[in-house]
């Protein structure tokens, strides 16, 4: 059974593996040895159906939660008996609690107890040309805000960003948004079986929030790494060959006008383990061209523990003695893999 567009994978309490597939949109359950067991949910707009599975995590017993976007619904399933119920926050109540900020596009996530995190902005009422001026490199910032399930007493988690980009004037009143090589991106890590979310925007700081609203800031120092010329050259080559702009002249105009950041983003990936440990990958940690990726490993309470090596794959879950995620074969076909890990 082939996968396509895997959104998440999760290890259930009894050792079975849940896979949120993209096309067709459904959750597939497999035995610990990889045999197909059953399907849960399907694409649609009715009870127990979803348009896109943004995240997925296990609850108690055989309970499984899935987040449905763009509607921002927390669906609860029983692996044995199917759909149970759904939790949908009130958008109007959220906005009242956020004022004077406004809800913004970007981060939206549930935690296991029904609390949730949304993005807010103080500049949402400004026109695009003011928020994203032509000819300047901009890094749109948002605020991540945690809400309890009943919408009362929200708490600010920390800054969260979109993607660094610039708008280039193409003439005749047209302009285009471009993402330069080495652009910074707002990063997030979701884990601890749905009980912790961590976000990072700029600099070497990660902000975490637990399902009870407890917050944690993790800070460290690291050296800046310049954007390598090889990365810049590869970006230009892809741009020239990709046919995105419609003409070679426009492509060269964009390449000539793009502003390239001075250094690579300090945070390249965040992974949150099932026990709340936080793994952060940065460009300053040396790695081989092939093989595992080094991460700074922080304890649940934010102390730097050491450097961990995680497999070079789409890591979805890190447990005490396993790593679960997605890899691709030489033909680009996705497959789910679980590795045994050891500490040293």
Phi and psi of 8, rounded to 5°? -150, 160
Q: Is the pLDDT of residue 243 over 70?
A: no
Residue 332 has what pLDDT? 85
Strand order in the sheet with 155-161: 102-110, 116-121, 141-147, 155-161
Q: Is the pLDDT of residue 245 over 70?
A: no
Q: How many CA atoms lie within 13 A of 311 on its CB side?
A: 20
Average pLDDT for 60-66: 93
- Per the CB < 8 A criterion, the answer to whether 50 and 43 are in contact is yes
Residue 241 has what pLDDT? 84
Q: In Å, what is the CA distance from 296 to each residue of 54, 85, 209, 299?
A: 26, 38, 19, 10
- pLDDT-derived band of residue 297, with 50, 70 and 90 as boundaries? very high
Of 180 and 131, the structure prediction assigns the larger pLDDT to: 180
- Per the CB < 8 A criterion, the answer to whether 198 and 188 are in contact is yes
- pLDDT-derived band of residue 134, with 50, 70 and 90 as boundaries? very high
Residue spans per domain, the chain: 95-310
Angle (CA) 33 11 198, round 5°: 150
Tell me: the pLDDT tens digits for 142-197? 999 999 999 999 999 999 988 999 999 888 888 889 999 999 998 999 888 999 99
Residue 170 has what pLDDT? 86
Strand partners for 216: 208
Prediction pTM value: 0.92
If you average pLDDT over every residue of the chain, what do you get?
A: 91
Residue 192 has what pLDDT? 86
Residue 246 has what pLDDT? 66
Question: Which one-letter DSSP state was computed for residue 95?
Answer: H
Q: Is the pLDDT of residue 244 over 80?
A: no
Alpha-carbon gap, residue 205 to 199, rounded angstroms? 9
């Amino acid at each position: 059974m082939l996968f396509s567009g895997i959104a998440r994978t999760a290890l259930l309490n009894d050792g079975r593996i849940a896979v949120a597939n993209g096309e067709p949109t459904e959750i597939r359950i497999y035995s610990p040895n990889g045999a197909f067991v059953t399907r849960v949910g399907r694409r649609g707009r009715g009870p127990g159906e979803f348009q896109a599975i943004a995240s997925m995590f296990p609850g108690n017993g055989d309970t499984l939660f899935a987040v449905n976007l763009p509607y921002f619904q927390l669906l609860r399933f029983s692996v044995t008996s199917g759909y149970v119920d759904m939790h949908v926050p009130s958008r109007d109540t959220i906005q009242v609690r956020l004022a004077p900020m406004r809800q913004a596009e970007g981060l939206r996530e549930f935690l296991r107890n029904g609390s949730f995190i949304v993005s807010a902005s103080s500049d949402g009422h400004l026109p695009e040309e003011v928020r994203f001026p032509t000819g300047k490199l901009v890094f749109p910032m948002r605020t991540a805000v945690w809400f309890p399930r009943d919408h009362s007493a929200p708490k600010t988690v920390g800054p969260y960003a979109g993607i660094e980009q610039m708008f280039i004037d193409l003439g005749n009143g047209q302009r285009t948004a471009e993402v330069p090589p080495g652009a910074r991106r707002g990063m997030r890590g979701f884990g601890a079986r749905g009980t912790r979310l961590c976000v990072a925007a700029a600099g070497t700081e990660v902000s975490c929030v637990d399902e009870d609203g407890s917050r944690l800031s993790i800070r460290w120092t690291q050296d800046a790494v310049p954007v390598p010329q090889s990365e810049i050259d590869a970006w230009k080559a892809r741009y020239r060959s990709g046919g995105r702009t419609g003409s070679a002249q426009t492509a060269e105009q964009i390449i000539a006008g793009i502003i390239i950041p001075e250094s690579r983003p300090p945070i390249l990936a965040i992974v949150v383990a099932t026990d709340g440990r936080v793994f952060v990958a940065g460009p300053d940690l040396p790695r081989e061209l092939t093989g595992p990726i080094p991460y700074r490993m922080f304890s649940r309470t934010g102390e730097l523990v050491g450097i961990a090596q995680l497999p070079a794959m789409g890591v979805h879950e890190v447990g005490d003695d396993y790593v679960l995620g997605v890899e691709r074969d030489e033909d680009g076909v996705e497959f789910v893999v679980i590795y045994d890990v050891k500490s040293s």
